[in-house]
Amino acid sequence: MTRSPSPADDDVRMRGFTHRSTVEDARAWVDQHSSCLPEMELSLSEAAGRVLGQEIISEVNVPDFARSMMDGYAVRAEDTSGASPYNPLALEIHGEILPGQAPTTPVHTGTTVRIMTGAPLPEGADAVIPAEKVQETERDDQIQVLADVSPGKHVGQPGEDISVGEVVLPARRRLRPQDIGVLSSIGIGRLPVISTPRVRIVVTGDELLPAGTRPRDYQITDANSPMLSAMIQRDGGEVIFEGIVADQPDAIENALKEPADVILVSGGSSVGLEDHAPRILAELGTLSIHGIAIRPSSPTGMGLIGETPVFLLPGNPVSCLCAYDFFAGRAIRRLAGLSSDFPYPRCRMPLSRKLVSAIGRVDYARVAIHEGQVEPLAISGASILSSTTRASGFVIIDQDSEGMPAGTEVEVFLYDI
């Protein structure tokens, strides 16, 4: 594949970046190279959590018949007019209807049918009197009605829940448990969903121990692969992770050649002598962007191997998280048929003190919320992952801003979803 000349073509190892792309340009590249994957069909039992490929229109009414909403007696409402504990009205019982049974006995003037919740209303009845509003008599086939009801009272009407022709669920909806229940109620057994993006995680670093291992000697434990795995699953992707890759060009190249819809490389993306990933990506495909005007995450890179987007994420955990949310996660969400926007709830609150930045870069500022105010966290370094657990969320400071004074109302992206 022929590569277009760009500042990303330079080998920046031990020299630093001479050019940094803007966040806006990097996200435009992401959008250009990530579009919704094709649909596939799944059974209803497999569809929870998947993204619906097409809108679902009901072909049936739910319920499809008038049914009782109470245990009681099916009546003609006019037969209960004026009934009270001081003026009980007698009705003769002509049978009983249980849920799932077809009614066989109609209700005439002066008669009633005992009915259970969910059972179909018999012909002639237009209301249900609850069992607690009647009194038994000495005769087994008679009751005394102690209250009146209006037509339609305690009756579920056809199509009351869902009607024929109604859009039940829109396309691109991530299916929740209650959605699965509704789909079942209208007789949907199989449905179209967006294919799940297969996301390969390539973690490099000879200093790394496997996730969950106790740190020892001069080695550190891999925190990025479990963090990335959790975010990929949150964003609708399927994780492919086959263990830590050695900081050797051949090992990294072999890992990048493995099939996937998206490849995330964590570590080896910056300007050190052992940062081989940018050069290897350029040789295998295209290194379109390397170096972005954002803090943290400035060493982030991205390019293509064939049509597969590859994201070079910094090894520092907070930088890795930031680069994922801004760029790689955006691509995965788009491929999965989800909104490309941040998957975090938002709120607006005033700053408790000044939030400092620098013109020319976007800042991902971790903040805490205390007593209705946003407190900037005093943090140095992109390796302090625990700062994100102490933080309530983050504030994005635009590249044209030097920061914001105390009292400014800011938008906070909350980590708690």
The DSSP result for 40-51, as a single string, is: EEEEGGG-TTSB
Lowest mean pLDDT, pick from 30-44, 171-185, 351-365: 351-365
- Short-list 361, 287, 280, CA closest to 322: 361
- Residues with Cβ within 8 Å of 381's Cβ and at least 6 positions away in sequence, in order, are 316
- Whether residue 369 contacts residue 392, with contact meaning beta carbons closer than 8 Å, is answered with yes
Average pLDDT of the residues of the chain: 91
Residue 267 pLDDT class (50, 70, 90 cuts): confident
Chain centroid offset of residue 193 CA: 14
| pLDDT beyond 80 at 10 | no
Q: What is the mean pLDDT of residues 63-91?
A: 96
Strand partners, 62: 162
Six-digit token pair at 364?
Answer: 């991902």
- Residue 417 has what pLDDT? 65
Is the dihedral angle over the CA atoms 305, 257, 38, 23 positive or is it negative? negative
Report the C-alpha gap between 31 and 8 in whole angstroms.
19
Give the chain's domains with CATH numbers: 7-38+196-335 (3.40.980.10), 43-62+160-194 (3.90.105.10), 67-156 (2.170.190.11), 346-414 (2.40.340.10)
In tens, the pLDDT along 308-361 reads 999 999 988 989 999 999 999 999 999 999 999 999 999 999 999 999 888 999
User: How is residue 80 annotated by DSSP?
Assistant: G
Q: How buried is residue 159: exposed, middle or buried, by Cβ count under 10 Å (0-12/13-18/19+)?
A: middle
Residue 238 pLDDT class (50, 70, 90 cuts): very high
- Residue 16 has what pLDDT? 53
Angle at 61 between CA 56 and CA 62, to 5 degrees: 95
| pLDDT beyond 70 at 81 | yes
Residue 270 pLDDT class (50, 70, 90 cuts): low
- Residue 26 has what pLDDT? 97
Residue 1 pLDDT class (50, 70, 90 cuts): very low
Six-digit token pair at 9?
Answer: 């073509």
- Residue 6 has what pLDDT? 45
- Residue 9 has what pLDDT? 47
Judge if the upstream peptide bond of residue 192 is cis by omega within 30 degrees of 0: no
Q: What is the mean pLDDT of residues 103-128?
A: 96
Lowest mean pLDDT, pick from 16-20, 297-301, 316-320, 409-413: 16-20
Report the C-alpha gap between 137 and 135 in whole angstroms.
7
For a pLDDT cut of 70, what percent of the chain falls above it?
A: 92
- Residues with Cβ within 8 Å of 376's Cβ and at least 6 positions away in sequence, in order, are 351, 352, 353, 354, 355, 356, 365, 366, 367, 395
DSSP calls for 312-374 = EE-SSHHHHHHHIIIIIHHHHHHHTTS-SS-SS-EEEEEBSS-EE--TTSEEEEEEEEETTEE
- Residue 416 has what pLDDT? 85
Q: What is the mean pLDDT of residues 207-229?
A: 92
Q: What is the mean pLDDT of residues 74-80?
A: 97
